[in-house]
Amino acid sequence: MHDRRNVELKARDRDPAATLSAALAHGASDEGVLHQRDVYFAAPEGRLKLRVQDGGAQLISYARADAASARLSSYRLVDVPDPDALIAALDASLGIVVEVVKRRRLLLWQGVRIHLDDVDGLGSWVELEAVAPAGSDLSAEHAEVAALRAILHMDDDQVVAEGYAAMILASGAATQRLVDRARTAMDRAYVPYSHFHVGAALRDEQGRLHAAANVENGAYPQSQCAEASAIGVLVAAGGRRIHEIAVMADTELIVPCGGCRQRLSEFADGSTPVHLCGPEGIRRSMTLGDLLPYAFALKSAPE
Ligand code: THU
């Protein structure tokens, strides 16, 4: 296990063949194609993924701030002799967030790793990674990345800050697991007075899922909706934003009550998907903006 630092940059690749020839023409060496499967887990702190790659596997724990400019990341690597067993153990204890499967052509140019990636469900991307030696002030790494960025025509409008996992999540990869979590919570609802079971599940900005149920009280007004319970779980786990919402009840169409629409809107925005579910699955999907137009917010006036 050791600490390392990188300067990284990632962009959509509109013409992978042209990018490959530009890199080779400027003296990059072609190290061949790697087949990589990254499994992301719901770590309580930082990020945790297991990479299975052509006969080997490593657990990678890292922290990274999303930023569109070339960024710095620090991480730890642990060799894993039995990846399937570790994936099963971590799935049972933490939960899998998402999987990313890709073919990566690796090139090297003046100490910078160039990744030409073909990612399942996401298409082609080019990634630059300058690994910094201990004690570096990173200026040399930033300069190399900038030079290579010009050679490979990585234009501003193609550069992205998000990782592949976040992009796959945004396209709905975790929705089924979110619905399953809402069902488990619904089944555990404490509802001796109304007998109306509700489960709510939320996906946070790190891809983690948080679920909870309604909790009633003999002093009826002290009862709490499932959505409010789930927001508390998300906040206590360090989450600050809601990227996807599932609410489930065994009724024709469960919709969050007015108060909960406002509660959700504190952490989500108008475009956040909301899935209205019955025990069998999603019945209708809409956005929080559909449910709560003209949402009240202290900071910005409604349009
Ligand atoms: N309930 C929720 O949990 N979420 C909603 O959005 C609507 C209502 C709960 C509160 C109470 O325990 C029961 O449903 C009946 O109102």
CATH class for domain 4-168? mainly beta
Domain ranges of the chain: 4-168, 174-291
Q: State the pLDDT confidence band at 67, using cuts at 50, 70 and 90.
A: very low
What tens digit of pLDDT does each residue of 113-138 get? 999 999 999 999 999 999 888 888 88
Where do we find the tokens 């599940």?
201
What are the C-alpha distances in Å from 57 to residues 5, 15, 28, 166? Answer: 20, 30, 26, 22
Measured from the Cα of 256, ligand 1's closest atom is 6
What tens digit of pLDDT does each residue of 215-241 get? 999 999 999 999 999 999 999 999 999
Q: Is 216 a catalytic residue?
A: no
Contact 144, 129 (CB under 8 A): no
Give residue 1's pLDDT.
Answer: 40
What tens digit of pLDDT does each residue of 80-103 get? 999 999 999 999 999 898 999 999
Measured from the Cα of 223, ligand 1's closest atom is 12
Measured from the Cα of 225, ligand 1's closest atom is 3
Radius of gyration of the chain (CA): 22
Does ligand 1 lie within 6 Å of residue 268's CB atom?
no
Pull the structure tokens for residue 62: 């890292």
Q: State the pLDDT confidence band at 300, using cuts at 50, 70 and 90.
A: low
The pLDDT mean for the chain works out to 92
Cα separation, 242 vs 85, in Å, equals 31
CATH class for domain 174-291? alpha beta
CA atoms within 13 A on the CB side of 296: 6
Give residue 175's pLDDT.
Answer: 95
For residue 224, the CA-to-ligand 1 centroid distance in Å is: 7
**Which residues have C-beta within 8 Å of that of residue 50, sequence separation ≥ 6?**
38, 39, 41, 57, 58, 59, 60, 80, 83, 86, 87, 90
For residue 221, the CA-to-ligand 1 centroid distance in Å is: 11
Of residues 94, 6, 100, the one with CA closest to residue 45 = 94
Instruction: Pick the residue whose CA is nearest to atom 8 on ligand 1.
Output: 225
Mutate to test the pocket of ligand 1, among 194, 195, 217, 225 (most ligand atoms within 8 A of CB): 225
Pick the catalytic residue: 227, 252, 266, 280? 227
Give residue 301's pLDDT.
Answer: 53
Cα separation, 234 vs 69, in Å, equals 29
DSSP string, 1-66: ---EEEEEEEEE-S-HHHHHHHHHHTT-EEEEEEEEEEEEE--SSSEEEEEEETTEEEEEEEE---
Q: If DSSP states are collapsed to H, E and C, what string results for 173-225?
A: CCHHHHHHHHHHHHHCCECCCCCCCEEEEEEECCCCEEEEECECCCCHHHCEC
Pull the structure tokens for residue 81: 């002799």
- pTM listed for this prediction: 0.79
Mutate to test the pocket of ligand 1, among 187, 188, 196 (most ligand atoms within 8 A of CB): 196
For residue 198, the CA-to-ligand 1 centroid distance in Å is: 6
Mutate to test the pocket of ligand 1, among 195, 198, 229 (most ligand atoms within 8 A of CB): 198
